[in-house]
């Protein structure tokens, strides 16, 4: 993990300050948690129109070699060899216990892999990848590029007004696109549950391009606060919270990210543990939770059965701006994981009734062609 | 009577021997969008410094401590349906509770509006 006290700045730092953002230390970076409109408005603007996020603190990595797709499969359970050039996949680095060391997105390009990893884990990930691929592939961090995300129902109209070719991109695909003179890596992806794009831009053109996007009507600058509530509504895991080195992907409900071939062949760290969990079911399962009333149940809130036994813990929880009610996710034993199960959440010492519900809390609206 | 303020950004309005308590405009700006307020039970006895309320914003939960000792005689029921009153009208409609004070001198040491203004200017 990066030193949380050291604060680096992304290339967009001055722009955030100019826009009136409240800056906070996050994963070793000084990042905007919210702008003057506040988290609620930023959140709803993303769901209704378009939100623009600085995610330049995340790691952008390129892996080159004779066969990087085959090589990386020794470290992650994703089926990277099955990807055509221009396709991308959500996966995770696993440890020998079958736990998750980080989640990441791997894009297969014509001659290499483009990988985006979490900010807090990037040093560890780059070392893992470098050591794990030694002799087979070369791992290079791209420190000369910013990364922004444009998310929401109007994202396609806004970005395609500057680069028409992005309109026809399919969900989870990659294209190199020149936008306003900047050679960008564009993916149709994101982590808000909305249609949208992530755009990697050379540092020297990042501020100008970000300003142009913000000039469009309907684009709001969005900070970490709304980023968190958006991904929670979408039922998506946050590394370090819903996923840890002690969480298996099967418990987390991420079996869909491991293809049939990889489940059968294994060949990634912890494969035997994960295969056994697939065969025998995991002990714990990640579930959606809705507390009664309006009091949010936040991370580390204890989950109890109706007899008062502590059975699990909330890993992400807060208030849903879209639904105007509290929502949470956490891990419970399989016997309590069925939708409709009544449990209690221990908020400030008091047991408050809650129910296991289906996720996502807010319907995902990814682009499907 | 005028509002008096604590260093923790609560305000108190003493009328007779009943103190109405809320949080300052500065506090609501720091909290961000308020989504839930847990108020005390009417009848409960609080000592100065006890937890009076919990304010949940989208970001986090924050405790509000009672600046005075006494019995809770009323709570703001409107906050249940409209917690954003804390953001919109912190010094008025966003009040949390009324306490029948047992020691009115506890209020003497608090800041008046001008002193509080100077105090928060020193914080930024």
Predicted complex ipTM: 0.85
Question: Sign (positive/negative) of CA torsion A120, A363, B55, A221?
Answer: positive
Q: How confident is the model at residue B1 (pLDDT cuts 50, 70, 90)?
A: low
For residues B44-78, one letter each, b for 16 or more C-beta atoms within 10 angstroms of the residue's C-beta and e for the rest, the string is eebeeeeebbbbbbbbebbebebbbbbebeebbee
**Least CB-CB distance to B35: which of A34, A294, A348?**
A294
Q: Which residues contact B107 (CB under 8 A, 6 or more apart)?
A: B4, B12, B14, B19, B67, B68, B101
pLDDT at B123: 86
Pick the residue from chain A with its C-alpha nearest to B63.
A348
Q: List the alpha helices (DSSP H) in chain B.
A: 25-31, 78-81, 85-88, 113-121
CB contact A40 to B (< 8 Å):
yes
CA dist B51 and B56 (Å) reads: 14
pLDDT (tens digit per residue) in A2-36: 455 668 999 999 999 999 999 999 999 999 999 99
CA dist A349 and A328 (Å) reads: 17
CA distances from A38 to A239, A257, B32, B124 (A): 24, 34, 7, 19
Pick the residue from chain B with its C-alpha nearest to A297.
B61
CA dist B14 and A13 (Å) reads: 46
Interface of B with A in 82-101 (CB under 8 A): 83
Share of chain A above pLDDT 90, in %: 97
pTM for the full model? 0.94
User: What is the mean pLDDT of the segment spanning B62-80?
Assistant: 96
CB contact B63 to A (< 8 Å):
no
Q: How confident is the model at residue A1 (pLDDT cuts 50, 70, 90)?
A: very low
pLDDT (tens digit per residue) in B19-56: 999 999 999 999 999 999 999 999 999 999 999 999 99
For chain B, the farthest-separated pair of C-alpha atoms sits apart, in whole angstroms, at 38
CB contact A34 to B (< 8 Å):
yes
Count Cβ–Cβ pairs < 8 Å, chain A vs chain B: 40
CB contact B50 to A (< 8 Å):
no
Beta bridge partners of A330: A287, A314
pLDDT (tens digit per residue) in A163-172: 999 999 999 9
């Amino acid at each position: 993990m990066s030193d949380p006290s050291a604060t680096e700045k992304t290339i967009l730092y001055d722009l955030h300050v100019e826009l009136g953002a409240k800056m906070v230390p996050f994963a070793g970076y000084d990042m905007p948690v919210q702008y003057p409109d506040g988290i609620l408005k930023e959140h709803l603007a993303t769901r209704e129109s378009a939100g623009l996020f600085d995610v330049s603190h995340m790691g952008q990595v390129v892996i080159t070699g004779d066969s990087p797709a085959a090589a990386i499969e020794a470290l992650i359970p994703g089926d990277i060899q099955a990807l055509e050039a221009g396709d991308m996949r959500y996966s995770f680095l696993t440890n020998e216990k079958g736990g998750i060391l980080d989640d990441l997105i791997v894009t297969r390009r014509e001659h290499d892999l483009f990988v985006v990893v979490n900010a807090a884990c990037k040093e560890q990930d780059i070392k893992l990848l470098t050591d794990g691929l030694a002799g087979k592939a070369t791992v290079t961090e791209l420190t000369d590029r910013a990364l922004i995300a444009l998310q929401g129902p109007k994202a396609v109209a806004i970005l395609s007004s500057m680069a028409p070719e992005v309109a026809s991109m399919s969900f989870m695909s990659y294209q190199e696109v020149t936008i306003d003179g900047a050679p960008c890596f564009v993916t149709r992806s994101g982590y808000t549950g909305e249609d949208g794009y992530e755009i990697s831009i050379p540092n020297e053109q990042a501020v100008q391009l970000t300003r142009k996007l913000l000039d469009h009507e309907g684009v709001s600058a969005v900070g970490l606060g709304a980023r968190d509530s958006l991904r929670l509504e979408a039922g998506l895991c946050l590394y370090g919270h819903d996923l840890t080195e002690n969480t298996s992907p099967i418990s987390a409900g991420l079996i869909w990210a491991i293809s049939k071939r990889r489940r059968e062949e294994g060949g990634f760290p912890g494969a035997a543990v994960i295969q056994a969990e697939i065969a025998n079911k995991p002990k714990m399962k990640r579930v959606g939770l809705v507390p009664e009333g309006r009091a949010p149940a936040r991370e580390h809130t204890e989950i109890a059965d109706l007899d008062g036994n502590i059975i699990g813990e909330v890993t992400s929880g807060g208030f849903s701006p879209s639904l105007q009610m509290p929502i949470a996710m956490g891990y419970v034993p399989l016997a309590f994981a069925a939708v409709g199960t009544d449990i209690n959440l221990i908020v400030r010492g008091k047991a408050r009734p809650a129910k296991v519900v289906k996720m996502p809390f807010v319907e995902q609206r990814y682009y499907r062609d | 009577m005028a509002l008096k303020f604590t260093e923790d950004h609560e305000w108190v309005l003493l009328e007779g021997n009943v103190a109405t308590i809320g949080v300052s405009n500065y506090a609501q700006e720091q909290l961000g969008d308020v989504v839930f307020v847990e108020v005390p039970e009417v009848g409960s006895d609080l000592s100065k410094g006890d937890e009076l309320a919990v304010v949940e914003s989208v970001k986090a939960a924050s405790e509000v401590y009672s600046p005075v000792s006494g019995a809770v005689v009323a709570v703001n029921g409107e906050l249940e349906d409209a917690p954003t009153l804390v953001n919109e009208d912190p010094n008025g409609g966003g009040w949390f509770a009324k306490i029948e004070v047992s020691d009115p001198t506890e209020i003497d040491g608090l800041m008046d509006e001008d002193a509080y203004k100077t105090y928060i200017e020193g914080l930024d």
